[in-house]
């Protein structure tokens, strides 16, 4: 009887050990999942940045309006 048979059987029972292509495919799938999650996070961050830009533009417009109104109010109150 062949003495290395139990080791070979144990090796071939694990598909990752038996077929290098299976191992590579699993690694590719894991990498695809990580990349998908990363892209999703980048898109969400981009949306948050867009919201922040809109809010800052709105704040800038409001501050300009406040400035012009304050200047008008100061002009009417100066009696020097």
33-68, pLDDT tens digit by residue?
Answer: 999 999 999 999 999 999 999 999 999 999 999 999
pTM for the model: 0.54
Domain ranges (residues) in the chain: 5-77
Predicted confidence (pLDDT) per residue in 9-21, tens digit: 777 777 666 677 8
Q: Give the DSSP per-residue string, 10-58.
A: HHHHSHHHH-HHHHHHHHHHHHHHHHHHHHHHHHHHHHHHHHHHHHHHH
At 43, list the tokens.
Answer: 């898109």
Nearest 5°: the CA angle 63, 65, 69 is: 115
Q: Which residue has better confidence, 27 or 75?
A: 27
């Amino acid at each position: 009887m062949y003495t290395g048979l139990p080791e070979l059987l144990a090796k071939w029972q694990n598909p990752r050990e038996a077929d290098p292509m299976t191992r590579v495919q699993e690694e590719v799938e894991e990498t695809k999942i990580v990349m998908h999650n990363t892209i999703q996070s980048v898109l969400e961050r981009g949306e948050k940045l867009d919201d922040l830009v809109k809010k800052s533009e709105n704040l800038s417009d409001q501050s300009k309006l406040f400035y012009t109104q304050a200047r008008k109010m100061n002009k009417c109150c100066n009696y020097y």
